[in-house]
């Protein structure tokens, strides 16, 4: 890793800057390097894979090791089929080292602007740095700011309140009554972790019942099916998914989790991926995780639910997602939609912002790491074709 990039004002020698030292940024840097293009990764923390280091302890990939490797370096077999969080972190460290990537840590990019000479991009970064690049790959900002709904009365709640990003393990919650709010993959896994870790009572607040899928059935990973069907028509996948769900997932309606009314792939296209089962189905079926209505607010030290019930847990954990963090960085360039997401991603570059690329801003059914790896190769090809003659080349 480098302490600081070697910069020059010569447009012919400007590197491609990659913002973010997570899997998407590292993969893009390697793919560019493989094409002879100098890529400099700018990471605001002091280590690569910073967001992975902050995940809860029990986290394992819901995608297989073989389909989660980045370009140029397979994940080791010793990681097992479903690599653990710490293994992913070690892999990212090894990836940067193995490919001799130019990673500059402790540099946070605040704003991206067109270069004053009209050729490339100017990055305004921490410490007053102004860096000029032939192109920019934005690989940060997907899970930027924890989202907590503006629940009325929350300030009056006297129990412990956490966002899921602050949750590490069940140990501090052993023997306590805990309410988890939100039934995405994070909320579901935290609820199971709490049950297995000795929480006295675990409730899971659900507004919209999710699609539940088995992570693996008879050795066949759900990811394999997702890869096969992701290019099929949405309605066809919805129809195929219904009988499969009835066979593989029990009816949990009596426990508060009815089967969704909308199709599985229709929900994915709206941004809601299925919940991969890592124990939730069994925990709900056995009553160890109690499904309750959505949270509407707080009152008198209690949590008010949508059905009128009031509960008084010791701890509330909000697994309510994140806001995107791109507005300050590139919002002034007209490259974001109404929800703060890039209007184009991957190898495509915005019409009015040529040379600006985005990766990692979707949650694909086929697996985030798999798609990041594929994006990296496509982005590198596009950069080499469109900006390669003006970018710094490796010796």
List the domains of the chain with CATH numbers. 11-144+324-386 (3.50.50.60), 147-321 (3.50.50.60)
- Closest to 38 (Cα-Cα) out of 176, 154, 119, 137: 137
Helix axes 23-34, 85-98, angle to 10 degrees: 20
Neighbours of 365 (CB within 10 A): 22
Q: What share of the chain is helix, strand, coil (3-state, %, to 5)?
A: 30, 25, 45
Backbone angles phi, psi at 41, to 5 degrees: -90, 130
**3-class DSSP state for residue 303?**
strand
CA distance 257 to 223: 23
End-to-end Cα, the chain, rounded Å: 18
CA distance 220 to 225: 8
CA distances from 197 to 3, 172, 190, 191, 309 (A): 42, 9, 10, 10, 27
- Closest to 373 (Cα-Cα) out of 43, 66, 52, 77: 66
- Closest to 2 (Cα-Cα) out of 123, 96, 138: 96
> Do β-strands 109-114 and 121-125 pair in parallel, antiparallel, or remain unpaired?
antiparallel
CA distance 152 to 103: 44
Per-residue model confidence as pLDDT tens for the chain (395 residues): 444 445 444 455 799 999 999 999 999 999 999 999 999 999 999 999 999 999 999 999 999 999 999 999 999 999 999 999 999 999 999 999 999 999 999 999 999 999 999 999 999 999 999 999 999 999 986 777 899 999 999 999 999 999 999 999 999 999 999 999 999 999 999 999 999 999 999 999 999 999 999 999 999 999 999 999 989 999 999 999 999 999 999 999 999 999 999 999 999 988 888 999 999 999 999 999 999 999 999 998 899 999 999 999 999 999 999 888 899 999 999 999 998 899 999 999 999 999 999 999 888 889 999 999 999 999 999 999 998 778 889 88
The four Cα atoms 137, 141, 143, 144 give a dihedral, to 10 degrees, of 160
């Amino acid at each position: 890793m480098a302490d600081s990039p070697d910069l020059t004002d010569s447009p012919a020698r400007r590197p491609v800057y990659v913002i973010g030292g997570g899997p998407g940024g590292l993969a893009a840097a390697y793919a560019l390097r493989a094409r002879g293009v100098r890529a400099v990764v700018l990471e605001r923390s002091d280590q690569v894979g910073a967001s992975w280091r902050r995940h809860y302890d029990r986290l394992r990939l819901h995608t297989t090791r073989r389909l989660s490797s980045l370009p140029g370096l397979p994940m080791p077999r010793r990681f097992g089929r479903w690599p653990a969080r710490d293994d992913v972190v070690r892999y990212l460290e090894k990836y940067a080292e193995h490919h001799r990537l130019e990673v500059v840590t402790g540099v946070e990019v605040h704003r991206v602007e067109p270069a004053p000479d009209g050729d490339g991009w100017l990055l305004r970064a921490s410490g007053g740095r102004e860096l000029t690049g032939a192109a920019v790959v934005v690989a940060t900002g997907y899970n930027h700011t924890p989202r907590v709904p503006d629940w009325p009365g929350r300030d009056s709640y006297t129990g412990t309140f956490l966002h899921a990003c602050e949750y590490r393990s069940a140990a501090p919650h052993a023997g306590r009554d805990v309410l988890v709010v939100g039934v995405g993959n994070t909320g579901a896994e935290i609820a199971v972790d709490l049950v297995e870790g000795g929480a006295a009572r675990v409730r899971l607040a659900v507004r919209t019942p999710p699609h539940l899928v088995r992570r693996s059935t008879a050795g066949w990973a759900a990811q394999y099916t997702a890869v096969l069907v992701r290019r099929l028509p949405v309605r066809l996948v919805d129809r195929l998914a219904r009988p499969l769900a009835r066979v593989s997932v029990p009816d949990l309606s009596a426990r508060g989790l009815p089967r969704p009314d909308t199709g599985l792939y229709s929900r994915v296209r709206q941004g809601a991926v299925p919940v991969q089962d890592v124990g939730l189905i069994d925990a709900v079926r056995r009553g160890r995780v109690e499904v309750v209505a959505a949270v509407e607010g707080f009152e008198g030290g209690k949590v008010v639910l949508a059905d009128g019930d009031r509960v008084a847990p010791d701890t509330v954990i909000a697994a309510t997602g994140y806001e995107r963090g791109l507005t300050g960085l590139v919002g002034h360039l007209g490259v974001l939609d109404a929800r703060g997401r890039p209007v184009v991603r991957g190898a495509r570059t915005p019409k009015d912002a040529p040379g600006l690329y985005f990766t990692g801003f979707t949650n694909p059914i086929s697996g985030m790491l798999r798609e990041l790896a594929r994006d990296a190769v496509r982005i590198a090809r596009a950069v080499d074709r469109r900006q390669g003659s003006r970018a710094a080349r490796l010796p």
